[in-house]
């Protein structure tokens, strides 16, 4: 069984500030990993489909999920659905199965009334909120039983096929920069990248 506390130090360093939502992501991700009995992804053994969006409270949740699962934008084993929901599905790619985890509505509704969120609403950056406010909230999240705040779905068979990686790159005939060939476009002006195509369409 993985312990979310083991990801806290890396989580804080990666995320950049202490807040309740990143640790919530650690807890939720580890719950999903433990039920699937999977380890942190070293490569692309796991895939996260996050239902969070952008520009809403508690989006930091996804940073916790990235840290614990090892599903990252660099490895492209994470996708966002922009549903603005505090939920995600973790796919065990090797086992072809998945589980969905979401925050319990009543817990999340309470959380949105916390003094941390009140200060955020007033425009105070998370790193400037007093440790006496943030600290106990984070401690509580890291110690409360999963059933108090998580809805953990059942393990579901899930087909997931990954496209083979592209290793061949060629120089764009306009900007001369190297481009992986699956994104080079054949045009009358030669093989060009998407950025040069955009410039040509805008006329600059
Ligand atoms: Zn945060
Ligand atoms: Zn180009």
Give the tokens for residue 154. Answer: 């059942």
d(CA 184, ligand 2 centre) in Å:
9
**Neighbouring C-beta atoms of residue 77, cutoff 10 Å:** 21
d(CA 61, ligand 1 centre) in Å:
7
Q: Is the pLDDT of residue 120 over 90?
A: yes
**Which ligand sits nearest to residue 127's alpha carbon?**
1
**Which ligand sits nearest to residue 184's alpha carbon?**
2
The DSSP H or E segment spanning 106 is helix 105-111
Q: What protein residues have CB closer than 5 angstroms to ion ligand 2? A: 172, 174-175, 193, 196
State the Cα angle at 28 between 22 and 32, rounded to 5°: 145
Q: Is the pLDDT of residue 142 over 80?
A: yes
d(CA 168, ligand 1 centre) in Å:
38
User: In 3-state terms, what secondary structure has residue 50?
Assistant: strand
Note the pLDDT of residue 189: 85
Note the pLDDT of residue 39: 97
Strands (E), 114-171: 150-152, 156-157, 169-171
Q: Is the pLDDT of residue 113 over 80?
A: yes
Note the pLDDT of residue 204: 58
CA 88 to CA 29: how far, in whole Å?
A: 9
CA 65 to CA 113: how far, in whole Å?
A: 23
d(CA 191, ligand 2 centre) in Å:
9
d(CA 64, ligand 1 centre) in Å:
9
**Which ligand sits nearest to residue 137's alpha carbon?**
1
Task: Give the model confidence (pLDDT) of 19-67 as tens digits.
Answer: 999 999 999 999 999 999 999 999 999 999 999 999 998 999 999 999 9
The predicted model gives 162-166 an average pLDDT of: 89
Domain boundaries, the chain: 4-157, 169-202
**Which ligand sits nearest to residue 19's alpha carbon?**
1
Query: What is the residue-averaged pLDDT of the chain?
Result: 95
d(CA 181, ligand 2 centre) in Å:
12
Note the CATH number of domain 4-157.
3.30.1330.130
């Amino acid at each position: 069984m993985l312990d979310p506390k083991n990801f806290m130090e890396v989580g804080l360093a990666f995320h950049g500030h202490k807040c309740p939502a990143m640790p919530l992501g650690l807890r939720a991700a580890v719950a999903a990993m433990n039920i699937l009995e999977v380890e942190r992804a070293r490569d692309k053994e796991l895939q996260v489909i996050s239902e969070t969006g952008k520009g809403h409270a508690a989006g930091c949740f996804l940073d916790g999920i990235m840290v614990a699962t090892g599903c990252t934008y660099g490895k492209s084993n994470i996708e966002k659905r922009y549903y603005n929901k505090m939920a995600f599905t973790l796919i065990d790619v090797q086992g072809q199965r998945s589980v969905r985890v979401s925050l319990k509505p009543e817990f999340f509704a309470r959380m949105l009334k916390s003094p941390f969120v009140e200060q955020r609403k007033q425009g105070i950056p998370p790193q400037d909120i007093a440790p006496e406010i943030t600290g106990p909230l984070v401690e509580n999240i890291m110690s409360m039983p999963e059933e108090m705040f998580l809805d953990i779905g059942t393990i579901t068979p899930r087909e997931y096929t990954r496209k083979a990686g592209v290793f061949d790159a060629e120089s764009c005939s306009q900007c001369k920069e190297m481009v992986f060939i699956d994104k080079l476009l054949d045009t009358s002006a030669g093989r060009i990248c998407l950025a040069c195509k955009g410039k040509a369409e805008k006329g600059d």
